[in-house]
Amino acid sequence: MIFGRRLPAVAFDVALAGLVALVSVAGGPVQPGGWWSTAIGVGMALALLFRRVRPVAVTVVIAVLAFTQVALGWAPMLYDVAVLIALYGVVKYAERLRDGVIAGGVAVLGAVFAAVRQPLPAPWYYTAIYYTLITGAVWLVALNVRTRRQYVLSLEERAATLEREREAEARAAVAEERTRIARELHDVVAHSMAVMIVQADGARYVIDQNPETSRDALKIVADTGRQALEDMRRLVGVLREPDPAEPVPVPPVRPVPDLAEPAHRRPSVAELPALLDRFREAGLRVSYTVIDGPVPLPQALELTVHRLAQEALTNVLKHAGVGASVEITLEQAADGVALVVVDDGRGHLPLTPTPPGGHGLVGMRERVSVYDGSLTAGARLAGGWQVRAWLPLPAAPATGVIAA
């Protein structure tokens, strides 16, 4: 970059101006006006160096020099091509097309003036028409280039705007999902705290009469506290931003209606059949297979599985339509739980299609990342869509006593 301009553009303008100056100097001894005419040509050449950054000013300078040349009675010279170059530049680079239109009108007047002042045996208007046709052709070429240039610039600006909007929508989706996770964090922790308080109060009342019962209650308090602490660490870790970004104005995200439970409920895997019944009532054909594992799932993990199934079924209803067949498989293993949702994509879509740009997969990935799990989603070769989530179980709490 040189003075804010790209090097190839600067080199081209320098070469163009040098060529005009060379023609002016070469014809100095023999051309009409002699070295005074050469000075006009060199002045035009110097003005062409700024035709991209100051197109209007360059056109004014060259027009004044050209009218001076004609007024002195000197015939058109080879360096007068600078007039056409300046006209091309003002049409292409001026901020307003009005400047190019004015420059074109002035160029036509100059062509007529030059034809009248030039002594030729043919009628002056023949020469005027010839000069006008050349000027009009250059003006139209410049207008076409200007139109294409503005079209490309508008496409680049639109692409940049869409990219910014896409990033803003993704941030909004993540923020919305984290807000929901925060509510669920409160539900999980509040439930655990309630259990701990009840067990601790019971142990305090019966510690003298029934020490064995008190020990069992205290063990429940310890296990529940460890599990709640682990859940809280996982969820708070997702909500914490590693590098806080600058505040960006975020457009509101259009809420997508779903078949959600009331905000204060704590859905679990045991409630999945009731959730499936609601989607069956909405028009889906849902089959459900459960492969139980050796250990029960933590409360927070059950809630995540429930939300993943709910979001996957909501997407099937939106994109595959009423009447689609869905197979849900929940397999619990010793080290984790797998949820697979497969649909055939053969439902009946509504007359008004769902607007694109939903963030269901974004929210599902956010939930799965809480447990360092994995989520894959995509189209099936046989038709329809498949979602597969794997959530590893957290490490079992230690049984030893930890001194405070």
Which superfamily does CATH assign the domain made up of 269-348+356-392 to? Histidine kinase-like ATPase, C-terminal domain (3.30.565.10)
Say what the pLDDT of residue 350 is: 56
Say what the pLDDT of residue 39 is: 86
Say what the pLDDT of residue 404 is: 30
CATH architecture under which domain 165-239 falls: Up-down Bundle (1.20)
Q: Retrieve residue 160's tokens.
A: 């940049």
Say what the pLDDT of residue 253 is: 38
Say what the pLDDT of residue 284 is: 83
Q: What angle do CA 382, 387, 311 make, to 5 degrees?
A: 125
Say what the pLDDT of residue 329 is: 94
Do residues 293 and 253 lie in contact, with contact meaning Cβ atoms separated by under 8 Å?
A: no
Q: How does 289-322 read in b/e, with b if 16+ C-beta sit within 10 Å? A: eeeebeeebbbbbbbbbbbbbbbbbbbbbbbbbe
The DSSP-derived string for 211-278 is: HHHHHHHHHHHHHHHHHHHHHHHHHHHHHS-SSPPPP---PPPPPPP--PPPTT----GGGHHHHHHH
Q: How many CB atoms lie within 10 A of CB 211?
A: 11
If the chain, 404 residues long, is cut into consecutive pieces of 10 residues, what is the mean pLDDT of each piece?
A: 66 83 76 78 86 87 86 78 87 85 86 76 76 88 88 89 88 77 64 69 79 81 78 66 47 40 61 86 86 80 87 83 89 90 80 53 81 89 90 63 33
Say what the pLDDT of residue 374 is: 92
Beta bridge partners of 390: 338, 374
pTM of the predicted model over 0.85: no
Q: Residue 316's closest CA among 375, 253, 259?
A: 259
Say what the pLDDT of residue 171 is: 84
Tokens 């009009």, residue located: 136
Burial of 361 (0-12, 13-18, 19+ CB in 10 A): middle
Say what the pLDDT of residue 359 is: 59
Question: Phi, psi at residue 128, to the nearest 5°?
Answer: -65, -40
The residue ranges of every structural domain in the chain are 7-119, 165-239, 269-348+356-392
